[in-house]
Amino acid sequence: MKKLVTPLTEAVVRDLRAGDAVAVSGVIYTGRDAAHKKLLAMLDKGEKLPADLKDQIIYFVGPCPAPPGRPIGSAGPTTSYRMDPYSPSLIAQTGLRGMIGKGNRSKEVVEAMKKYGVVYFAATGGAGALIAQRIRKCDLVAFPELGPEAVYRLEVEDFPAVVAIDSEGNSLYDKK
């Protein structure tokens, strides 16, 4: 298992290969399609984003409310294809270095990943309660009106994932 600490450098990302198991520690941001749409609208207007995504990871998740004594509730990955219309632009304009979700990505997303040195990690669907145990802190960053689909800043320790598509375009989804 490879230990990764955010922010990620392009060199670290380009060294990862499809199939590598990783444990991510540091800060990751959350966002689903509604948040992606709002982030891109801000960029289109020339506005500053609520968080600097350069060299960061965005996790496609809509976490459940936190139970007493915990920073977050169940936090399993969302199907990533819903972010595909937004990901290439977000990658190109922000310097985003990684994404976490579940399921395959479009050709356009993979091409942007190859061009800009980005990796796509898969988290295990159905394991949201276990994943939540790796989240140490959760703070609202933007778009509270989106509820669980708002942008949150998570502090994680040994967040488990697998490199599903590496920065060369090699994909676990293409292997037979």
Contact between 130 and 105 (Cβ < 8 Å) = no
**Domains in the chain: ranges and CATH:** 2-165 (3.20.130.10)
The whole-model pTM stands at 0.95
Position 176 scores a pLDDT of: 53
Across-strand partners of 21? 162
Closest CA to 102 of 147, 57, 161, 19: 161
Catalytic residue, chosen from 36, 38, 97, 102, is 36
In this structure, the number of other CB atoms found within 10 A of the CB of residue 151 comes to 24
What residues have CB less than 8 Å from 83, skipping those under 6 apart? 31, 32, 33, 36, 60, 99, 101
What are the pLDDT tens digits along the chain (176 aa)? Answer: 999 999 999 999 999 999 999 999 999 999 999 999 999 999 999 999 999 999 999 999 988 888 999 999 999 999 999 999 999 999 999 999 999 999 999 999 999 999 999 999 999 877 888 899 999 999 999 999 999 999 999 999 999 999 999 999 999 998 65
C-alpha span between 171 and 162 (Å, rounded): 11
Q: Is 36 a catalytic residue?
A: yes
Contact between 155 and 132 (Cβ < 8 Å) = no
